[in-house]
Amino acid sequence: MRHLLTLFDLTPAEVRSILATAVHLKSLLAQGERPPILAGQTLGLLFEKPSLRTRVSFEAGINQLGGGSLFLGEDVGWGKRESPADFTRVLGQFLDGVVCRAKSHSRVEELARYDAMPVINGLTDLSHPCQALADILTVGEVFSQLPDNQFDLASLAGREVLFVGDGNNVARSLALICAILDMPFTLACPNGYAIDDIWIERISKAYPKAKLNRVERPEDAIGSADVIYTDVWTSMGQEAEAAERRQIFAPYRIDEKLLAAAPKTACVLHCLPAIRGEEITQEVIDGDQSQIIRQAGNRMHAQKGLLVWLMAPEWVEANIS
């Protein structure tokens, strides 16, 4: 049974297959077609954290594919009323797959351990693979050489991604998908906030040709960046550090002055929610180089590709070259 806990669970060919499936389904939707590929299937959404994009994009996505979803909040008693084995194996009797948005990565690993149903990581403290798939779908559209800005996998090779801010779960997943697709990745962050060495070493071992860099000043890398990406400085669970982080990360704000040093063709991304005026200014987030709303919309399209790839592989084999 296949799961997606991190992008290490996928081969480069599988990442490309998921993206190709997403592109095909997005094209069909634009033509008014919603093929019921997952008719009769039910997706559980087991969430420990609040959500807008992850919840709504998965619920809308499986609905468009002919299936249904169930939101599973605190009332189901995950980790409280019964053993993890009983909870997970019983859940597998009802569901065809589950998206888990958890505080700790060990929680999604625990769900997957029993192989009761396919498990998708909808966000943990370690990784956010669904976000990275949507990010790359967006970049491939922005730099496409194909008509109507259709996603162009070939256009991704060599595109330089600059992540400005904390080396968090989003940065980890983005660094990994860049390595998978031969895209240089640079993290601009203060000392002490880089992506952990274990994750970097794991990427380098799996993808020895990966181009992973780190600079202390965003100005040192923005001049060649095709993609400029940021996220909130304080993630959920770090609220006690908020004041300290605001002070430390103040030089890492994406504003018009910093963006002026980037190529005019560069695009700006943010996984949202954003704190306007903190990690990114209002002028940039709403500016001409921003692709942030398209990026948010692509969460649904990328995840539809993932759901079909995971839950209806025979359809992918028959319909996606």
pLDDT digits (tens, 9 = 90+) for 6-41: 999 999 999 999 999 999 999 999 999 999 999 999
**Whether residues 265 and 149 fall in one domain:** yes
**Whether residues 29 and 40 fall in one domain:** yes
pLDDT computed for residue 237 by the predictor: 77
Return d(Cα 305, Cα 19) in angstroms, integer. Answer: 6
Longest dimension (CA), the chain: 56
Return d(Cα 98, Cα 269) in angstroms, integer. Answer: 28
**Domain contains 2:** no
**Domain contains 149:** yes
E strands in 57-143: 68-72, 97-101, 119-123
Q: What's the average model confidence in pLDDT over 97-115?
A: 97
pLDDT computed for residue 15 by the predictor: 98
Give residue for tokens 């100005």: 219
Q: Which domain holds residue 180?
A: 130-296
**Domain contains 311:** yes
What pTM was estimated for this model as a whole?
Answer: 0.97
**Domain contains 108:** yes
pLDDT, tens only, 141-180 = 999 999 988 999 999 999 999 999 999 999 999 999 999 9
| Residue 72 phi, psi (nearest 5) | -115, 100
Active-site residue, from 3, 105, 128, 301: 128
Between 197-206 and 169-180, two packed helices, what is the crossing angle to 10 degrees? 10
**Whether residues 54 and 20 fall in one domain:** yes
**Whether residues 222 and 172 fall in one domain:** yes
The verdict on whether omega for the bond into residue 118 sits within 30 degrees of 0, i.e. cis, is no
Reported as half-sphere exposure (CB side, CA atoms, 13 A), residue 127 has a value of 22
Per-residue pLDDT band at 321 (split at 50, 70, 90):
confident
**Known active-site residue 182:** no
The total of structural domains in the chain comes to 2
| Residue 186 near residue 225 (C-beta atoms within 8 A) | yes
Active-site residue, from 3, 172, 245, 299: 299
**Known active-site residue 128:** yes
The verdict on whether omega for the bond into residue 273 sits within 30 degrees of 0, i.e. cis, is yes
Return d(Cα 271, Cα 200) in angstroms, integer. Answer: 21
Instruction: Provide the mean pLDDT of the chain.
Output: 96
- Given a cut of 80, whether residue 204 has pLDDT beyond it is yes
Active-site residue, from 125, 135, 166, 231: 231
**Domain contains 1:** no
SS3 171: helix
Per-residue pLDDT band at 84 (split at 50, 70, 90):
very high
DSSP strand pairing (68-72 vs 42-47): parallel
Active-site residue, from 41, 64, 131, 303: 131
**Whether residues 251 and 313 fall in one domain:** no
Return d(Cα 185, Cα 253) in angstroms, integer. Answer: 19
**Known active-site residue 24:** no
- Provide, for the chain, the percentages of residues in helix, strand and coil under a 3-state DSSP scheme, each rounded to the nearest 5: 50, 15, 35
**Domain contains 61:** yes
Active-site residue, from 3, 100, 271, 295: 271
**Domain contains 246:** yes
**Whether residues 160 and 86 fall in one domain:** no
pLDDT computed for residue 79 by the predictor: 87
**Whether residues 96 and 47 fall in one domain:** yes
**Known active-site residue 178:** no
Active-site residue, from 3, 24, 53, 101: 101
**Known active-site residue 81:** no
**Whether residues 146 and 285 fall in one domain:** yes
**Domain contains 279:** yes
**Whether residues 280 and 187 fall in one domain:** yes
**Whether residues 115 and 236 fall in one domain:** no
Q: What's the average model confidence in pLDDT over 251-276?
A: 98
**Whether residues 161 and 287 fall in one domain:** yes
CATH number of the domain residue 304 falls in: 3.40.50.1370
**Whether residues 224 and 261 fall in one domain:** yes
**Known active-site residue 282:** no
Helices (H), 8-52: 12-30
